[in-house]
Amino acid sequence: MESDNANRLKHWIREVPDFPKPGILFKDITTLLKEPAALREAAHLLAERFADRRVDQVVGIEARGFIFAPLVAYRLNAGFVPVRKPGKLPAETAARTYELEYGSDTLEMHVDGLSSGDRVALVDDLLATGGTAKAAADLVESVGARVEAVGFVVELTHLEGRRRLEGYDVVESLVRY
């Protein structure tokens, strides 16, 4: 659900046309991050959306998910577990490859990052087609943990990424375009 408080965050999100390639309207959150009240509000509102769930670990997706996930983890008294681009994590990893418009991408997580039965909130900055979040959710489940909730600061509704996440009870976004 999009609340008035959340909707106010839109003011701080800059739109950059044709980045990183022609035709993409990039939602730049750096303008929100540098605004103390907006940063605090984004973290607070995301954590609030998960408040009725018991969350053991917050999983963040590299790179912009790393900004918000630890803030949410701090508020929920949970831990933080990184899901990273290939070749970055030093110990044994599990991997998931997913399709992009052109080509494919891979995400990795330490196999001991989560324990079987852990309740996880998955956090990224933005939901577009949902491929990234679905791959991260599959990684979480591959080690026996449970995705309790998924949260984004921004959702691009026309790309219908939410449909890829239909199996999850709680899929929240703070602002929608």
- Catalytic machinery residues: 64, 101
By CB under 6 A, is residue 132 in contact with ligand AMP?
yes
Strand partners, 172: 151
* Ranges within 96-125 binding ligand AMP (CB under 6 A): 124-125
Residue environment code for 74-112, b if the CB has 16+ CB neighbours within 10 A, otherwise e: ebbebbbbbbbeeeebeeebbebebeeeeeeeebbbbee
Residue type, 149: A
By CB under 6 A, is residue 161 in contact with ligand AMP?
yes
Output 26 or 168, the one with its CB closest to ligand AMP: 26
Peptide bond before 20: cis, by omega within 30 degrees of 0?
yes
Output 112 or 160, the one with its CB closest to ligand AMP: 160
Q: How far is the CB of 100 from ligand AMP (least distance, A)?
A: 8
CB atoms within 10 A of CB 59: 29
Distances (CA, A) of 112 to 100, 109, 135, 151, 161: 28, 8, 18, 23, 28
Q: How far is the CB of 21 from ligand AMP (least distance, A)?
A: 11
By CB under 6 A, is residue 24 in contact with ligand AMP?
yes
Distance CA 93, CA 108 (A): 6
Output 38 or 56, the one with its CB closest to ligand AMP: 38
CA triple 125-136-36, angle to 5 deg: 20
* Ranges within 63-82 binding ligand AMP (CB under 6 A): 64
Q: How far is the CB of 16 from ligand AMP (least distance, A)?
A: 8
User: Out of 129, 143, 146, 162, which residue is the one contacting ligand AMP (CB under 6 A)?
Assistant: 129
Provide the binding-site residues for ligand AMP, judged by CB under 6 A: 24-27, 61, 64, 124-133, 161
